[in-house]
Amino acid sequence: MKTAQASTLLFAFWLVLTDSFEVVDLALGVALSLALGAWATRFLWPADAPTLTARQAARFLLYIPRLFASVIMAALQVAEVVLDPRMPIDPVVISHRTSFTRDVSRVAYANSITLTPGTLAVDVDGNTFHVHCLAERFATDIATGDLERRIHRVFEE
Amino acid sequence: MEAFFWGVGIFLLLNAFVCLWRAHAGPTVMDRILAVNIVGTTTLVVLVVLALVFGRSMLLDVALVYGLLNFVITITAGRFLETGRLSGERP
Amino acid sequence: MISAVDIRNAVTVVLAAVGALFFLVGTIGLVRLPDFYARTHAATKCDTVGAGSLLLALAVFNGFDASTLKIIALAGLVLLSSPTIGHALARAAHRTGVAPWQARKERAS
């Protein structure tokens, strides 16, 4: 099942790359993506690789626009800090304990931290995240656990 | 439009040169790697601009490979500096 | 008379200008900010948005064909890779003992 998914993805990528519907190219693409898919599922993916239910996938898709919006907000925030002649930063490193049970939620959480304004995931230590904040006021979303709850809704239920 | 794209490309290249100053100045090795990675991202966008200006879609493939290599090189260099080795579990 | 081509060109110019501006901000941040972690903030965020916006502009300009799909794949690659790189380098720096710069220390000395 995983092999099929990986192979389909690889074949789509092949179509984008080659931009050709000749029989030879298609056949080569199918052969290569099947071989690579089988190899990747055996050797690259960990045993507990994320499998998402349909519900979780739908929630993930709904989460993406929010993520885009927050990425743009984050860039604007950093731009504001950088372009301010006084450069109002006062960096702190905070630690936040979470209660995630799956690696996929930890990955999503770390990436979301990095992409929200003024914060950067620095290190993960079990379930404790060390987060570098440009200033203490950026840390509220993480300290109150808002972001954690949002990720929880997507992957853990 | 072509003049505009030339302007964007030259602007991005100037940006990349300023980033190279950071790669020169450091002070830590991580700063240098980060600066080189930014130069790589800039180059990627410049390649796509050139592909459109010259009408050579081959440059898009170059940009794609460039982006993938840029990613792998940065991750590998960071990991090597962190653990002192390139494969296996971290000590 | 405003044609579809004019609208397309206008959208391209605006998106590309925004993208170039974000690149400029990222570069200024890379030069100005006081330590590695702060510079990572500027580099990962501004350059993600800059590259995304510029690539979107070029995709709009190109119209819809196979090249556009490649450009969108490139944008996805940048969007996925730059937070990963930021995180990987920040962790490496953290574990090799690069200390974060603090405003308070500066004031005290």
Interface mutation target, options A132, A137, A138, chain C, most CBs of C under 10 Å: A132
Arithmetic mean of pLDDT, B34-58: 88
Angle between helix A2-18 and helix A23-43 axes, rounded to 10 deg: 140
Beta-carbon separation of C95 and A123 below 8 A: yes
* B90 pLDDT above the threshold of 60: no
Residue C42, pLDDT > 80, answer: yes
A73-105: per-residue pLDDT in tens? 888 888 888 887 777 777 777 777 877 777 777
Q: Determine the residue of chain B that is closest to C86 in CA distance.
A: B34
CA torsion A8-A14-A15-A16 (nearest 10°) is 110
- DSSP one-letter string for chain A: -HHHHHHHHHHHHHHHHH----HHHHHHHHHHHHHHHHHHHHHTS-TT-----HHHHHHHHHHHHHHHHHHHHHHHHHHHHHHSTT-----EEEEEE----SHHHHHHHHHHHHHSTTEEEEEEETTEEEEEESSGGGGHHHHTTHHHHHHHHHHT-
CB distance B71–C84 less than 8 Å? yes
Whether A16 and C74 have beta carbons less than 8 Å apart is answered as: no
User: Does the structure show a pLDDT above 70 at B86?
Assistant: no
Residue A55, number of CB atoms within 10 A of its CB: 10
Contacts of C78 in chain B (CB under 8 A): 41, 44, 67
- CA-based nearest distance B65→chain C, Å: 10
Which residue from C minimizes the CA distance to B77?
C89
pLDDT, residue B69, reads 92
Integer angstrom CA distances of residue B32 from A11, A91, A119, C91, C98: 37, 21, 21, 15, 14
Distance between CA C10 and CA C1 in Å, rounded? 14
A-chain residues within 8 Å CB-CB of C104? 90
What number is the ipTM of this complex? 0.83
Q: Tens digits of per-residue pLDDT, A5-24? A: 788 888 888 888 887 788 88
Residue C108 has pLDDT above 70, yes or no: no
Residues 64-83 of B with CB under 8 A from C: 64, 67-68, 70-71, 74-75, 78-79, 81-82
* pLDDT tens, position by position, A101-119: 777 778 778 877 777 777 8
Note whether C35 and C100 are within 8 A (CB).
yes
Q: Show which residues on chain C lie within 8 Å of chain A, measured between beta carbons.
A: 22, 25, 28-29, 32-35, 37-38, 40-42, 44-46, 48-50, 66, 69-70, 73, 83-84, 86-87, 90-91, 93-95, 100-104
The answer to whether the Cβ–Cβ distance between A122 and C94 falls below 8 Å is yes
Each domain of chain B, given as residue ranges in start order, spans 2-83
Least CB-CB distance to B34: which of C27, C55, C89? C89
Mean per-residue pLDDT, B26-43: 87
Q: Tell me what the mean pLDDT of segment B27-31 comes to.
A: 83
A123 and chain C in contact, CB less than 8 A: yes
The CB density around residue A31, as the number of other CB atoms within 10 Å, is 10
- C48 contacts on A by Cβ (under 8 Å): 71, 75, 115
User: What residues of chain C lie within 8 A of the CB of A123, using their CB?
Assistant: 90-91, 94-95
Per residue in B5-17, pLDDT (tens digit) is 899 899 999 999 9
Residue type, C27: T
The C-alpha atoms of residue C58 and residue C55 are separated, in whole angstroms, by 5
**Mean local confidence (pLDDT), A24-45:** 86
A-chain CB neighbours of C32 within 8 Å are 82, 87
